[in-house]
Amino acid sequence: MPWPQQCASVLVLALLLTHCGSSVTPRLSFALGSPGRTLTSFYLQDVQNSTTLLLSPDHLTLYVGAQDALLVLDVSHKDGISLIRKLEWRPTEKDTEQCSMKGKKVADCANFIRVLEFLNDSHIYTCGTFAFSPRCVYIDTETLSMSQRSDEGRGRCPYDPYQHNTAITVDGELYTGTVADYRGNRPVISRHLSEAGRGDLKLDDTLGWLEDPTFIRSMFVPAEEKIYFFFSEVGREYDFFDNLLVSRVAQICISDIGGQRTLQKRWTTFAKSQLLCQDNGELPYNLIQDVDMLPPEEGDLPEDTLFYGVFTSQWRVNSGHSVVCAFSLLGFRLVFSGSYKILNRDTLQWSSRLQEKLASPGECGLHNASDSGLRFVKENFLTEESVRPVDRRLTLVSQNTYNHIRVQRVRVASGRRYTTLFLLTVSGFIHKVVLLESGPHVIEEIQVFQTPQTITNMKLSKGVIFIGTSEGVLRLPLANCSFYRTCPQCVLSRDPFCGWDSGRRMCVRVGRSVPSALVQDVERGQVDENCVVSRPHRAQSGGHRATAPCPPAELVSVSLNEVVRLHCPAPSLLSLQQWERPNSRLSKQLYLQLEDGSLSFVATPATLGLYLCVSVENGFQQTMAVYQVRQNSGPPSSPGSAPAAPLTEHRSPTRAPPASTTPPKLTALYTELSVVHRDRGFGEVPGGPCYLKELLIVSVLLVLCFSLLLTLLMYTVLHCHNRTAPQPLAPPRQRGGETEPPPKGQHSTSSSNGHLPNVPL
Ligand SMILES: *[C@@H]1O[C@H](CO)[C@@H](O)[C@H](O)[C@H]1NC(C)=O
Ligand SMILES: *[C@@H]1O[C@H](CO)[C@@H](O)[C@H](O)[C@H]1NC(C)=O
Ligand SMILES: *[C@@H]1O[C@H](CO)[C@@H](O)[C@H](O)[C@H]1NC(C)=O
Ligand SMILES: CC(=O)N[C@H]1CO[C@H](CO)[C@@H](O)[C@@H]1O
Integer Cα distance of 468 and 457 in angstroms: 5
Integer Cα distance of 448 and 410 in angstroms: 23
Ligand 2 mean position, distance from CA 121 (Å): 8
pLDDT at site 646? 35
* Ligand lying closest to the C-alpha of residue 124: 2
pLDDT at site 727? 35
Contact call for residues 379 and 345 (beta carbons, < 8 A): yes
Q: What is the mean pLDDT of residues 84-99?
A: 94
Pocket of ligand 2 (CB under 6 A): 119-123, 138
Q: What is the mean pLDDT of the chain?
A: 80
* 366 Cβ closer than 6 Å to some ligand 3 atom: no
pLDDT at site 18? 37
* Ligand lying closest to the C-alpha of residue 369: 3
> What are the pLDDT digits (tens) for 322-345?
999 999 999 999 999 999 998 887
pLDDT at residue 753 greater than cutoff 50: no
Ligand 4 mean position, distance from CA 67 (Å): 9
CA torsion sign for 713, 22, 232, 228 is negative
Ligand 1 mean position, distance from CA 633 (Å): 42
pLDDT at residue 686 greater than cutoff 50: no
* 253 Cβ closer than 6 Å to some ligand 3 atom: no
- For 158, residues 6+ apart whose C-beta sits below 8 A from its C-beta are 114, 129, 134, 164, 165, 178, 179, 184
pLDDT at residue 6 greater than cutoff 60: no
Ligand 2 mean position, distance from CA 118 (Å): 11
User: According to CATH, what is the number of the domain 552-635+642-693?
Assistant: 2.60.40.10
Q: What is the mean pLDDT of residues 109-120?
A: 96
Ligand 1 mean position, distance from CA 551 (Å): 23
Ligand 2 mean position, distance from CA 224 (Å): 26
* 368 Cβ closer than 6 Å to some ligand 3 atom: yes
* 89 Cβ closer than 6 Å to some ligand 4 atom: no
Q: CATH for 19-477, among 2.40.30.10, 2.130.10.10, 2.60.120.260, 2.60.40.10?
A: 2.130.10.10
pLDDT at residue 140 greater than cutoff 70: yes
Residue nearest (by alpha carbon) to ligand 2 atom 3: 123
Of all residues in the chain, the percent with pLDDT exceeding 90 is 56
Instruction: Provide φ and ψ at 64, rounded to 5°.
Output: -125, 120
Q: Count the helices and strands in the chain (H runs, E runs).
A: 7, 43
Residue nearest (by alpha carbon) to ligand 4 atom 10: 470
pLDDT at residue 225 greater than cutoff 60: yes
* 351 Cβ closer than 6 Å to some ligand 3 atom: no
* Ligand lying closest to the C-alpha of residue 477: 1
* 50 Cβ closer than 6 Å to some ligand 4 atom: no
pLDDT band per the 50, 70, 90 thresholds, residue 712: low
* 161 Cβ closer than 6 Å to some ligand 4 atom: yes
Integer Cα distance of 317 and 336 in angstroms: 32
Integer Cα distance of 540 and 558 in angstroms: 31
Ligand 2 mean position, distance from CA 398 (Å): 46
pLDDT at residue 692 greater than cutoff 60: no
pLDDT at site 368? 80
Ligand 3 mean position, distance from CA 366 (Å): 10
19-477 against 552-635+642-693: fold identical: no
Which atom of ligand 2 sits closest to the CA of residue 193?
5
Contact call for residues 216 and 749 (beta carbons, < 8 A): yes
* Ligand lying closest to the C-alpha of residue 139: 2
* 48 Cβ closer than 6 Å to some ligand 4 atom: yes
Least confident of 165-169, 551-555, 686-690: 686-690
Ligand 3 mean position, distance from CA 191 (Å): 21
Q: What is the mean pLDDT of residues 50-54?
A: 94
Residue nearest (by alpha carbon) to ligand 3 atom 3: 368
Which atom of ligand 2 sits closest to the CA of residue 147?
4
pLDDT at residue 525 greater than cutoff 60: yes
pLDDT at residue 123 greater than cutoff 70: yes
What is the phi-psi region of residue 719: left when phi exceeds 0, alpha when psi lies from -120 to 50, beta otherwise? alpha
Which atom of ligand 3 sits closest to the CA of residue 257?
5
3-state secondary structure of 736: coil
Burial 3-26 (b: 16+ CB within 10 A, else e): eebbbebbeeebbeebeeeeebbb
Residue nearest (by alpha carbon) to ligand 3 atom 9: 368
Integer Cα distance of 442 and 429 in angstroms: 12
Ligand 2 mean position, distance from CA 172 (Å): 9
Integer Cα distance of 278 and 299 in angstroms: 31
pLDDT at site 669? 25
Integer Cα distance of 715 and 709 in angstroms: 10
Integer Cα distance of 73 and 287 in angstroms: 34
Residue 749: DSSP 8-state:
T
Which atom of ligand 1 sits closest to the CA of residue 481?
1
* 255 Cβ closer than 6 Å to some ligand 3 atom: no
* Ligand lying closest to the C-alpha of residue 65: 4
Ligand 1 mean position, distance from CA 37 (Å): 6
Domain boundaries, the chain: 19-477, 552-635+642-693
* Ligand lying closest to the C-alpha of residue 476: 1
pLDDT at site 413? 86
Rounded alpha-carbon distances, angstroms, from residue 367 to 173, 174, 202, 323, 353: 19, 20, 14, 39, 26
> What are the pLDDT digits (tens) for 294-319?
999 988 999 999 999 999 999 888 88
- For 391, residues 6+ apart whose C-beta sits below 8 A from its C-beta are none
Integer Cα distance of 97 and 92 in angstroms: 9
Ligand 2 mean position, distance from CA 594 (Å): 67
pLDDT at residue 720 greater than cutoff 70: no
Residue from 454, 456, 471 to probe ligand 4 pocket by mutation (most atoms less than 8 Å from CB):
454
Three-class SS of 278-325: CCCCCCCCCEEEEEEEECCCCCCCHHHCEEEEEEECCCHHHCCCEEEE
pLDDT at residue 445 greater than cutoff 70: yes
Contact call for residues 593 and 656 (beta carbons, < 8 A): no
593-607, 621-635, 665-679: range with highest mean pLDDT: 593-607
Residue nearest (by alpha carbon) to ligand 4 atom 4: 49
* 475 Cβ closer than 6 Å to some ligand 1 atom: no
Least confident of 188-202, 213-227, 396-410, 643-657: 643-657
Residue nearest (by alpha carbon) to ligand 3 atom 10: 368
> What are the pLDDT digits (tens) for 382-439?
999 999 999 999 999 999 999 999 999 999 988 899 999 999 999 999 999 999 999 9
Q: What is the mean pLDDT of residues 652-661?
A: 34
- For 747, residues 6+ apart whose C-beta sits below 8 A from its C-beta are 312, 401, 403, 426, 756, 757, 758
* Ligand lying closest to the C-alpha of residue 107: 4
Residue nearest (by alpha carbon) to ligand 1 atom 13: 38
pLDDT band per the 50, 70, 90 thresholds, residue 588: confident
CA torsion sign for 589, 594, 595, 596 is negative
* Ligand lying closest to the C-alpha of residue 258: 3
Helix (H) or strand (E) holding 424: strand 417-425
Ligand 1 mean position, distance from CA 36 (Å): 4
pLDDT at residue 268 greater than cutoff 70: yes
Q: What is the mean pLDDT of residues 469-473?
A: 92
Residue nearest (by alpha carbon) to ligand 3 atom 14: 368
**Sheet with 166-170, edge to edge strand ranges:** 166-170, 173-179, 187-192, 201-202
Q: What is the mean pLDDT of residues 185-190?
A: 93
Burial class (CB in 10 A: 0-12, 13-18, 19+), 217: buried
pLDDT at residue 536 greater than cutoff 60: no
Of all residues in the chain, the percent with pLDDT exceeding 70 is 77
pLDDT at residue 4 greater than cutoff 80: no
Residue nearest (by alpha carbon) to ligand 2 atom 4: 123
